[in-house]
Structure 1
Amino acid sequence: METLMTTLGVVVLIFLVLGLGAWVFAGLVMVSVLSLFWLGDFSFHRIGVTLTRILFRAGNSWELSAIPLFIFMGELIFRSDISERLFKGLEPFARRIPGGILHTNIFGCTLFAAVSGSSSATTATVGKITTRELQQRGYDRKLSIGSLAGAGSLGLLIPPSIVMIVYGVQAEVSISKLFMAGVLPGLLIAALYSAYLFAQAVMHPQKAPRQTTEESSVTLWQSIKLLSPVLALIFVVIGSIYSGLATPSEAAAVGLGASLLMLAAERQLSWDLFSGALRSAILSSVMVCSILVCAALLATAVGYLHIPQDLAAVISAMDLSPAQLLMILALFYIVLGLFLDGISITVMSLPITLPLVLQAGIDPIWFGVFLVIMVELGQITPPVGFNLFVLQGLTGEKLGKVALAAMPFFILMCCAALLITLFPGIVLWLPELGSG
């Protein structure tokens, strides 16, 4: 009961502080300090020393370096005609489906997820490209924002994925097998999202107006040529990882270098484009990274309050079946996702939850994908859903409206988690095929 009250106290503090209109990063710091002071009986001196150390350590995280590099790459693509070609290249595939170019959010995020290990970077890059076009063409604003919030989270599931690397190191399982295991579930979630947009367009045609022939004059062969720059970047980034030449974080630098070379070869790289992309990337990166760093402060506060450990201990004492255990763990991770980032959730909970999973006979590769999906759910749930904040900055909409738009896609992702539980072969088929 004490653990539940402490957890509830932290959640109430987060909603209260952010609800008062505080900047997100400042709100996270305030919640961290107040939680340790009121719920943990820490002195302000001890709080200052602890949080200063964590702030420095989180800000110097090597994994964090991938985010500004991928965002910079996205800004370069956005400001060149490559972004327009991405949109036009996806359009012939999307226009034949009810829902039209709303599907470009799904297709675009799925493609960019293959060059980015970051959900926030995927959301920011594709959102920069599609939100304006969809609004100008009269597509439903709620569906546009919601589909982008949901599809942006695929940056964590479709390889390369930083969260998968963290899990693989902690669980001592093959990271390459984890990457293979994430492909089909990622495509499954993308298919569910597109199916939802399909159904919405059929039931409510006004939400996705049909395009005219003039607006959709690109042929399928031309679309492949238009998509070739992005496909080449996917090949370079993923190829550098699977060839062993670069880690996922280093692959971000490889992708950025390839983008610069590509733009220079096409004579599109100018000082105005470079400096404008750099300025915008700095602003976006500061927004995203400041939230991530301050989330590490909150993760530390929650750790000192023993919330993850105590909740996991309560679960262990229940003597559950594998199905019951997964149901409880799903709820457990959804609660943690309300106020922690994915890496913090993984690092803090796995030492306790993984032994429970292994004891229940659950495959650790399968559980890694299940955990990433749970982490993705946290990306689109308030009050600390990073994709929601990115979209709030891109669209200017209120956080509550963005969260409400993302809710159907939250439910669809829960359905995907249920499907991989009922049919674990969706996750394990590719890793087993690779082993064979």
Structure 2
Amino acid sequence: MSVAVASVLLLALLALFLGAGTWIFAGLLLSGAGAMWLILDFPWVRIGAIATKVISSSAVSWELAAIPIFIWMGDIIFRTDISERLFRGLAPLVAKIPGGLLHTNVFGCTLFAAISGSSTATTATVGKITVPELRKRDYSMSLAAGSLAGAGSFGLLIPPSIAMIIYGVLAEVSIAKLFIAGIVPGMMMAALYSGYIAIMSIAFPHMAPKYDGDVSGRAMLKGLGELVPIATLMFVVLGSIYSGLATPSEAAAVGVFCAIVITFVTGQFSVKLLVESLMNTLRISSMICMLIASSAFLSAAIAYMHLPTMITEMIAGLNLSPYGVLLILAVLYIVLGMFLDGTSMTVMTVPIAVPLIMQAGYDPLWFGVYLVIMIEMSTITPPIGLNLYILQALTERSLGATILAAAPFFFLLCLGTALLAVFPQIVLWLPSAL
């Protein structure tokens, strides 16, 4: 069977099951089983045996242990006053930069992302504090919503990142190196966002009124003190990974312990907080693990059809430049981002995308960061960009206005991916230096 026919049949199965509203993990399982039956003519007994073997092996990967533990750490912090401390700590530090308190969105999301790993949690946690404060001070709600939409996605890029863990497991790339590789691109994107805010604030002064609070040296020192809990957690988690003292899973466990200690020290610990954070962690982790297991089965079906090899050979036959391959993948991810969440996009595309980019001469480590930025775009891409709906509720603006506010930051993400493509050392320099 030709690659075109096999691809069309597989896409038709995915469209049928996912379009019918089937749970994504079930749709992936049914599509894989259907492809094996229709395209490969495998008997159902063999399909069942393959499913059992693949799903059981994919679900016991040690690297996956980091996912629920990092989610638990982030959920504990989500239920504390860390976001309030972030705003109080950052306000006097950024007040004199053009754009003033709008930069608390960017820097606050950057810092919170380093202990969350989740885009939606980062957006909601930082936004619930900064939006009311910015509205009270007559800051532009359009620029506030846009900067939150873009910076909130840092939960996927700034380590520890759940998206990077999933990619690392699927693509067999070192998760510790992925975490290191995300630092410089994350700082680059934060600089692009803050630069845009500063330019807009200089061009349109009414969008960012001057800060009327205390910006003395004493206020700045007090602000730094407010950042101690989050800085401590970042140092413990990331420092243990980068120093080689702990694996990502072990560092996550240390992070949970540190987060619980912070709740004790700040007087916010309760049995209710612990139970609610555990229950939410169980729900989210179960969803992610089911997606990974079902995607592993779909990947097995794709491998049995030799689809990655055929697609790689077909695209290689087109004699596209490496940039041409990236452009095709970028369009694919932008379209997928309109309909799927980041985890689903990752588990569905990695088996085919990684061979393509390796054929084009790119490092899989570099592609992991590129992929995460493409997934970041999906969080602010209508119609199902989750950050858009969170911000619509926080800012009490229409969805259309929220989409327009996020548009400049979507294009800044596009600029960021272009810079990574032209200068891959932005990603690869730090992992190779350590």
Tell me, yes or no, whether TM beats 0.5. Answer: yes
AA aligned opposite 1:76: R
Q: 1:247 to 1:431 in 2, by over 3 A?
A: closer
In the TM superposition, what whole-angstrom CA distance separates every residue of 1:260-290 from its partner, at most 9, and x where no partner exists?
3223234x2365xx647976x6998799789
Q: 1:322 to 1:214 in 2, by over 3 A?
A: closer
Q: 1:312 to 1:377 in 2, by over 3 A?
A: farther
Unaligned runs of 5+ in 1: 18-26, 43-52
Q: 1:234 to 1:348 in 2, by over 3 A?
A: same
Q: 1:75 to 1:163 in 2, by over 3 A?
A: closer
Matching residue within 73, 77, 100 for 1:74: 77
Q: 1:72 to 1:359 in 2, by over 3 A?
A: closer
Alignment of 1:111 onto 2:111: yes
Could you tell me which residue of structure 1 aligns to residue 43 of structure 2? none
Alignment of 1:65 onto 2:68: yes
Q: Which moved more, 1:358-367 or 1:394-403?
A: 394-403
Give 1:409 shift.
Answer: 0.6
Give 1:406 shift.
Answer: 1.3
Could you tell me which residue of structure 2 aligns to residue 202 of structure 1? 202
Could you tell me which residue of structure 2 aligns to residue 157 of structure 1? 157
- C-alpha contact (below 8 Å) 1:115/1:238 kept by paired residues: no
Could you tell me which residue of structure 1 aligns to residue 268 of structure 2? 269
Distance 1:121 1:342 in 2: 14
Aligned partner of residue 113 in structure 1, secondary structure = helix
Could you tell me which residue of structure 1 aligns to residue 124 of structure 2? 124
Q: 1:205 to 1:184 in 2, by over 3 A?
A: same
Give 1:62 shift.
Answer: 5.8
How do residues 115-194 of structure 1 correspond to structure 2 at under 5 angstroms?
115-194=115-194
- C-alpha contact (below 8 Å) 2:78/2:121 kept by paired residues: no
AA aligned opposite 1:426: I
How do residues 397-436 of structure 1 correspond to structure 2 at under 5 angstroms?
397-434=397-434
Q: 1:357 to 1:29 in 2, by over 3 A?
A: closer
Unaligned runs of 5+ in 2: 38-51, 53-57
- C-alpha contact (below 8 Å) 2:312/2:355 kept by paired residues: no
Distance 2:312 2:282 in 1: 34
Could you tell me which residue of structure 1 aligns to residue 226 of structure 2? 226
Could you tell me which residue of structure 2 aligns to residue 47 of structure 1? none
Could you tell me which residue of structure 2 aligns to residue 90 of structure 1? 90
Distance 1:12 1:98 in 2: 51
AA aligned opposite 1:400: G
Q: 1:343 to 1:263 in 2, by over 3 A?
A: closer
- C-alpha contact (below 8 Å) 2:185/2:426 kept by paired residues: yes
AA aligned opposite 1:195: G
Q: Which moved more, 1:134-143 or 1:190-199?
A: 134-143
In the TM superposition, what whole-angstrom CA distance separates every residue of 1:88-114 from its partner, at most 9, and x where no partner exists?
211122101111111011101111222
- C-alpha contact (below 8 Å) 2:288/2:343 kept by paired residues: no
How do residues 228-243 of structure 1 correspond to structure 2 at under 5 angstroms?
228-242=228-242
Aligned partner of residue 219 in structure 1, secondary structure = helix
Q: Which moved more, 1:100-109 or 1:402-411?
A: 402-411
Distance 2:279 2:140 in 1: 28
Give 1:339 shift.
Answer: 2.0
- C-alpha contact (below 8 Å) 2:112/2:122 kept by paired residues: yes
Q: 1:165 to 1:259 in 2, by over 3 A?
A: closer
In the TM superposition, what whole-angstrom CA distance separates every residue of 1:150-206 from its partner, at most 9, and x where no partner exists?
111112112222222232333333332222221111100000000111011111111
Could you tell me which residue of structure 2 aligns to residue 20 of structure 1? none
- C-alpha contact (below 8 Å) 2:70/2:256 kept by paired residues: no
Distance 2:347 2:353 in 1: 11
How do residues 316-355 of structure 1 correspond to structure 2 at under 5 angstroms?
318-355=318-355
- C-alpha contact (below 8 Å) 2:66/2:252 kept by paired residues: no
AA aligned opposite 1:65: P
- C-alpha contact (below 8 Å) 2:109/2:126 kept by paired residues: yes
- C-alpha contact (below 8 Å) 2:69/2:256 kept by paired residues: no
Aligned partner of residue 373 in structure 1, secondary structure = helix
Q: 1:65 to 1:231 in 2, by over 3 A?
A: same
AA aligned opposite 1:342: G
Aligned partner of residue 227 in structure 2, secondary structure = helix
Q: 1:417 to 1:64 in 2, by over 3 A?
A: same
- C-alpha contact (below 8 Å) 1:116/1:252 kept by paired residues: no
**How many residues end up aligned between the 2 structures?**
411
Give 1:295 shift.
Answer: 8.4
How do residues 362-401 of structure 1 correspond to structure 2 at under 5 angstroms?
362-401=362-401
Q: 1:141 to 1:432 in 2, by over 3 A?
A: same
Q: Which moved more, 1:181-190 or 1:287-296?
A: 287-296
Distance 2:383 2:103 in 1: 27
Q: 1:426 to 1:207 in 2, by over 3 A?
A: same
- C-alpha contact (below 8 Å) 2:420/2:427 kept by paired residues: yes
Give 1:422 shift.
Answer: 1.6
In the TM superposition, what whole-angstrom CA distance separates every residue of 1:305-352 from its partner, at most 9, and x where no partner exists?
99x979888755533111111111111121222222323322322222
Give the TM-score taking structure 1 as reference length.
0.75
Q: 1:248 to 1:431 in 2, by over 3 A?
A: closer
Give 1:382 shift.
Answer: 1.6
Give 1:234 shift.
Answer: 0.8
Distance 2:133 2:171 in 1: 43
